[in-house]
Amino acid sequence: MRIRNKGQGSAHRAGNGQMLKGSGGFCICPQCGYYTVHKAGSPCKTSICPDCNVSMNRSESPGKKSGLSLDHVPDAEPETTKPSILFPKVIAKKCTGCGICIDTCPTGTIVMENGKAFVHIENCRNCKVCIKACPVDAFKLE
């Protein structure tokens, strides 16, 4: 018979996961250490590191680098002007309509409209396979 210590067990219990921490803390890039102040109600994994373009993780202590001074962290306001996640968008002037991005998209979220590729963001997994596959570099993250 195995006896569990208090606090051990399922990740679904309060205190063991990242979901129930509330406000405070930081969102940190696991690759470079870039951090921002955590926004209550917005999971850190939905924030993307501007340097590495990877999902951030939650931490109670700051990382290695930031645009913020630690003196201002408690009073910092959430950033509301730019989105947390950048999705692929087709630059219509560059798109030749070759369809390679459509063939490589694992979710089928890219369609051809008026001879140009178009990304339906609501179905996009943000895997960026389309960006890598495009022979004319007709995608940008927006």
Would you place residue 17 in the very low, low, confident or very high pLDDT band (cuts 50, 70, 90)? very low
pLDDT value at 57 more than 60: yes
Strand partners, 110: 119
pLDDT value at 116 more than 80: yes
How high does pLDDT run on average in the chain? 75
pLDDT in tens, 67-112: 454 444 444 455 555 557 888 999 999 999 999 999 999 999 999 9
Map out the domains of the chain with their CATH numbers: 26-75 (no CATH), 88-141 (3.30.70.20)
DSSP H helical ranges for 1-142: 100-104, 129-133
Q: What is the pLDDT of residue 115?
A: 94
Gap between the Cα atoms of 34 and 128, Å rounded: 22
Q: What is the pLDDT of residue 19?
A: 43
pLDDT value at 55 more than 70: yes
- Residue scoring higher pLDDT (97 or 142): 97
CB 19 within 8 A of CB 43: yes
